Amino acid sequence: PSIFKHATDIIDLTKELEIKNPILMGHSMGAFISAIVASKLTSVKGLILLDGAAEMSGHQLDVVKPSLGRLTERFDSKEEYVKNVKSLYERLGVNWTPTLQNIVEYEIHQVADHWEHKSAREKILEDFENFYLFDPKEVMSEVECQALLVYARGEIGPFLPLFFESDYELTKKLFDSFLQSNAR
């Protein structure tokens, strides 16, 4: 797992499907991936980054790592797992829907006498740690299309946002530089 491998997969898929002038949009991890794709694929016509492609700090790992705990927990039943996740989502202010119910039920399976998440915690943590290899200056300086950056500035329920506004300073500075150089 790697955001850079995901980006390579998207570039390969774009070429395989012969997509001309794609407009990329990504949220969170997808924003990082979309930015990497746009930095390597000159045919990208537009880029929309939603709450991602920021400079990483230890804050993000502090926020995400505890939530990864559920990936290694064992549950007595599927219902216990769903109740646990539903409680987490409600603390974040997310409305529980039948779609969320289906997704959460899909991500768990029975193993012997207990239930556990299908994902490998180590792989997800490894994937997350790849965000720290993302260098906004290196990536964003290669983006040749116009981009829209949208990010959350407030809390996520009772929690701090994943990125602080200061984490976007370099990304915003590079966007501004691109706009000024193309306005001439």
Phi, psi (deg, nearest 5) at residue 35: -65, -40
The pLDDT, as a whole number, for residue 80 is 94
Residue 5's CB: how many other CB atoms inside 10 A?
Answer: 12
List average pLDDT for each run of 10 residues in the chain, which is 184 residues long.
92 97 95 96 95 87 74 90 88 88 94 90 81 91 91 79 88 73 56
The pLDDT, as a whole number, for residue 93 is 79
Using CA atoms in the order 63, 64, 67, 69, what is the torsion angle rounded to 10 degrees? Answer: -120
The pLDDT, as a whole number, for residue 48 is 96
The pLDDT, as a whole number, for residue 174 is 81
CB 106 within 8 A of CB 119: no
Q: How far apart are CA 88 and CA 97, in angstroms?
A: 14
The pLDDT, as a whole number, for residue 184 is 47
